[in-house]
Amino acid sequence: MHKVISRTFETLQSQVKSESCVLTVCDSPVIIWPNRGLECKFLFLIQSVINLRLMMEATKTGRPLSAPILSRTVHKSHFLSTTFPVDCVVRTTVNETIKDAFERLLEALTHQLCEMEKVTLQHIKGTTLLVPQPLHFLLPEPKGLVTVVYPAGVPDSQLETQRKELHQQFELPDDWPYFRRANAYHFPNEPYKDGYLRNPHLGLTHPTLDNGKVYLVQGFYSYHHYMQDHVDDNGWGCAYRSLQTICSWFQQQGFVERAVPTHREIQQALLDVGDKQASFVGSRQWIGSIEVQVVLNQLLGVTSKIMFVSQGSELASKGRELANHFLTDGTPIMIGGGVLAHTILGVAWSETSGQIRYLILDPHYTGAEDSQVITDKGWCGWKGPDFWDQIAYYNLCLPQRPKVI
């Protein structure tokens, strides 16, 4: 079986190198035969991403068709059929020739088929094949996009050795899970299957402060707010939604594999640790920063710091602590005061003047997943110190990023 599989991959590589290989530009009538010579000197399509589809020409030109021949051989065999999801990416510039760009693309395709063969043979179980799955990961510059092939169906927990080798190969630190599936790169304008908005704050303009710097959440998160998931939590669920946004950050950075918890799962976690009575599960009772800290530890194994201010006016003096949090941990912060909860995604802070602005994600939003409306109407936006109730007390939950992965 190993020999047959290897021969199959050899055939696929030969097809990629043959004149029958065809690349079509998605949503375009353009068809390219990359192995037949390209006369055009430059690629004038100025786009961030050009999607191509790999095809094979079935008919041959200039050759007479022979009559079909049927033969029948009786023998025992095992037939396997699968589709290999080949997915390559190469970076090019407007100064590069089409020929050079497609030569690199075909080289990447051939290399990926070799990697797929290795993964297929390594994880074959009897007569069962695990489909090799290519994923792209955006590493810190100058490394850029890197493609890794994993076996589909094998959890991240069983691929730790391979990820350690990748960290060593690319000289990456061990305190950030760069190569877990949740970290796979999401191309612009590619919709997310779960329907949640990602990082709506990226469309905002940063405030200008004298000698000020901006400190932001690192990585990606989902925007969770009132009325999502067919749950009517208007008026009581803001802290639950802020907690869900924080959980999505840990999940999407690959620190945890657990899905974002539902309201009921959050309530059950508080019951399990003895913080609430049984009647709390299924209720519409509020939670605060302390409960958020407890649930993060119970469900995700994440520890948090609690920052207490006796009145909202004191928050203006917490610029240094908040800036340091986003520099070192980079996680969203849940803040609760009175009957309201919000998520802090960053601060703009001047060390010299003490001026401060807060980047707020508001879980009280009840509308559609429209990033333009959300930013234009201020549901995600920069707020001044007067945003907070000046006499109410506040608790802030600052989740700590795991330092050893």
211: left (phi over 0), alpha (psi -120 to 50) or beta: left
Which residues does the annotation mark as catalytic?
A: 238, 362, 364
